[in-house]
Amino acid sequence: MNMMAVSMTAATPVMPAGRLPSVTLRARLLWLARVRVLWLVAGFALIAMIALLRIASLGFAGTAPQRTSLEEALMPPRGELTDRNGTPLARAFPAYSLWFEPGAMGDNGSPLVHSSAEAARQLKAIFPDIDEARMARRLASGKSGYLRRRILPEEANRVFALGEVALEIPRETDRYYPQGTLAAHVLGYVVEEKGGQTGMEQVLDARLSDAEKRMQPVALSIDVRVQGALEDELRRGMLATNAIGAAGIVLDVDTGEVMAMASLPEFDPNTAGAAGAVNVFNRATNGVYELGSTFKPLTVAAAIDAGVVRDFGKQWDASPVAVGKRSIKDSHPLGRSLNVPQALVHSSNTVTARVGDAMGAEKLRKTMIDLGMDRRPFIELPAKGRPIWPQGPWSRVTNMTVSFGHGLAVTPLHLASAYAAMVNGGIWRPSTLMKLAPADVPRGKRVFKESTSSRMRQMLRMISLYGTGKTADAPGYRVGGKTGSAEKAGRGGYDKTKLVSSFAAAFPMDAPRYVVVVVVDEPKGTIASSFQRTAAYTSAPIVGKLVPRIGPMLGVQPDDTRDVDISDLRYLVDKGE
């Protein structure tokens, strides 16, 4: 400004001749230059402003690069199922599939870099089980679709290395069962877009897909090691006797938690999909069977409870019982008379029927109802069999047949819960597949007296020491249990060729912790079972081999120096000493 003022004063003409136009011209040019600079600056400022505005608008309103938090990224689409010790049983697993996309190259030429035959040959090198000619036709057809539903990460890498753009490897989340077929009936399977099917996948469907809760795995009550041992022994027993199926349950007597539950033949939840699966029938909770002699201890317990059996030395008539037109006989003659412990040890139908008769139908019926035998079993699984329960008031015949386990068909789980109540001091509790905290254990209801329970422990132990359960007596584990072999009811009466042999046991008998129930469906007489089909040769040996395997895992140590005290009953059975 000062400069301008100076130039203006300097430009004031003293003698305004000749030079005046040039002075004004100079001023004009100067002015013009300044205006141009101003325009330039204004232009730059405008551009800068626009750029800034654009940046600001992008910053505020534009889409930021997608940013997922750690939790969101790691949250599985479906919650994990674990066993009671946290071993994963079912988890969401990132998997790869192989998809053929002919349009991936973006031109109208061949979808593949190599010829389809060459590409098929290369794929054959990665997946040896594919049909090369079929794969070549498939690639030549130019139709998009899955070439393989699931491939391994290393296979995905090798496919990627082929350099074929059309062979895409989309990443998909899969429901994966690391243990394979293990505990398949407990777990069930998942069908895409339909959710869990059968098993705990179906029961916990809402919980597992809940966004709030699916980060936390759900612990089931089963122990994967016990489950493995149970299935292993069951399978071996089933194959050895050429049976059509088998079921097994290991139940905690004090909480009702199912430690293991198996039904054979099994299915593979990894391959079960929308088409369903074979062998989903759960023999342990859905199959109802007349379990035969395994009911005799329950009858005797009810009779002790009712005061019908007080003197264990009392002799009961063991001759065939004539009821109406039928006659109840023992499978082999056991003498003229037997006492109650002998009747259990030698599995006498006649004495048990007479004990049941002396007690009366109503008392036995009430005990069976208290043990939940008239309803579907108490378990979370959707597959629960309805027992075949004699309707109305029981007749004398019904009473007598139920007393030794016929005329009433229940699931193996019913029997396991009843045995748990019989040996744990008389408290019946519903069984569960969820891991229970000590505070959540149901109080249960009293079915038997404490004194009855302790008598039954003695007698169950005596059965496996002196009677039909000898093959289940694992040394040191104080196993006590009862065999049961019943003919299957078919059309028009019982089928003599089809047997269901069962063994219900508890261990250790001096302080029972677990009940084991094993049911073998239609065993045949084979070399392995000494050409016998009865429970002593088919299901009891399974328990005898299973208990030593699972005992130490479940905190039961073998001990030769401990046992339940049977000294007051022993002389009644063991006459030799």
Residues catalogued as catalytic? 293
Using the rule CB under 8 A, is 145 a contact of other proteins?
no
Query: Tokens standing for 372?
Result: 């939940």
How far is residue 453's CA from residue 460's CA, in Å, rounded to a whole number? 10
Between 87 and 454, CB nearer to other proteins: 87
Using the rule CB under 8 A, is 471 a contact of other proteins?
no
| Residue 265 preceded by cis peptide, ω within 30 | yes
- The angle formed by the CA atoms of residues 277, 229 and 85, to the nearest 5 degrees, is 90
Q: Which residue has 């040769």 as its token pair?
A: 537
CB of 242 to other proteins, least distance (A): 20
DSSP letters, 4-48, are HHHHHHHHS-SS-SSSHHHHHHHHHHHHHHHHHHHHHHHHHHHHH
Number of residues that bind other proteins (CB under 8 A): 35
What's the 3-state SS for 493-545? EEEEEEEEEEEEEEECCCCCCEEEEEEEECCCCCCCCCCCCCCCCCCHHHHHH
Among 135, 147, 156, 181, binds other proteins (CB under 8 A): 181
CB of 181 to other proteins, least distance (A): 7
90 neighbors 176 (Cβ within 8 angstroms): yes
The size of the chain, in residues, is 577
- How many CA within 13 A on the CB side of residue 236? 13
CB of 415 to other proteins, least distance (A): 25
Using the rule CB under 8 A, is 3 a contact of other proteins?
no
x/- binding map, residues 65-84, to other proteins, per CB under 8 A? --x-xx--xx----------
Using the rule CB under 8 A, is 231 a contact of other proteins?
yes
The widest CA-to-CA distance across the chain, in whole angstroms, is 164
Segment interacting with other proteins, rule: CB under 8 A, options 134-142, 179-187, 327-335, 489-497: 179-187
CB of 249 to other proteins, least distance (A): 17
Between 231 and 521, CB nearer to other proteins: 231
- How many CA within 13 A on the CB side of residue 572? 23
Using the rule CB under 8 A, is 544 a contact of other proteins?
no
Using the rule CB under 8 A, is 176 a contact of other proteins?
yes
Using the rule CB under 8 A, is 360 a contact of other proteins?
no
Between 40 and 152, CB nearer to other proteins: 152
CB of 284 to other proteins, least distance (A): 18
Using the rule CB under 8 A, is 91 a contact of other proteins?
yes
Torsion of CA 213, 216, 219, 225, to 10 degrees: 150
Using the rule CB under 8 A, is 180 a contact of other proteins?
yes
Between 220 and 420, CB nearer to other proteins: 220
CB of 389 to other proteins, least distance (A): 37
Torsion of CA 391, 395, 398, 401, to 10 degrees: 160
Using the rule CB under 8 A, is 1 a contact of other proteins?
no
Buried b (16+ CB within 10 A) or exposed e, 532-553: bbbbbbbbbbbbbbbbbbbbee
Using the rule CB under 8 A, is 205 a contact of other proteins?
no
CB of 433 to other proteins, least distance (A): 18
Segment interacting with other proteins, rule: CB under 8 A, options 3-11, 176-184, 437-445, 490-498: 176-184
Using the rule CB under 8 A, is 88 a contact of other proteins?
yes
Query: Tokens standing for 105?
Result: 């190259």
| 65 exposure class (CB count in 10 Å sphere: 0-12, 13-18, 19+) | exposed
CB of 192 to other proteins, least distance (A): 19
How far is residue 188's CA from residue 272's CA, in Å, rounded to a whole number? 9
What's at 39, amino acid-wise? Answer: W
Between 13 and 86, CB nearer to other proteins: 86
Among 360, 549, 563, 570, binds other proteins (CB under 8 A): 549
Among 125, 362, 552, 568, binds other proteins (CB under 8 A): 552
Using the rule CB under 8 A, is 157 a contact of other proteins?
no
Query: Tokens standing for 104?
Result: 């991936």
Between 87 and 337, CB nearer to other proteins: 87
Q: Which residue has 């895992």 as its token pair?
A: 553
Using the rule CB under 8 A, is 182 a contact of other proteins?
yes
Which residues here bind other proteins, judged by CB under 8 A? 67, 69-70, 73-74, 87-88, 91, 93-94, 153, 176, 178-182, 224-225, 227-229, 231-232, 475-476, 548-549, 551-552, 557-561
